Amino acid sequence: MPEDDLMAQGYRVIPVNPLLTTVLGELRSPSLGAIPDSVDLVDVFRRSELALATVEDALSAGARGIWLQDGVVSHAGAELARRAGIPFVMDDCTMRVHRRMGRTAPE
């Protein structure tokens, strides 16, 4: 799973899921707005028709970047992020890009 790979590299991943208690062994947050820390990147694993609401939540939460995974597309979300000056990627895989770039954990 992409989060597993990023976590193994030392990145902090905060799962957001209102229905589960833990994800990938981490306590989850019920919503983006409930995360007490700053959010660098919101990585979206939701159906395309639900992505716009998640983009709106990410912007409200002050996220510094938004990434929609493979097969997830929201042109309206892309436009909102563009207007907010937030980097936005859609229909691509963070793990694949991370590995292609040969990235390592932040210090």
State pLDDT tens for residues 33-92.
998 888 899 999 899 999 999 999 999 999 999 999 999 999 999 999 999 999 999 999
Contact assessment for residue 75 and residue 83, using Cβ atoms and an 8 Å cutoff? no
Where does the chain have alpha helices with state H? 2-8, 48-60, 75-84, 94-101
> pLDDT tens across 55-71, in order?
999 999 999 999 999 99
Domains and CATH numbers, the chain: 2-101 (3.40.50.720)
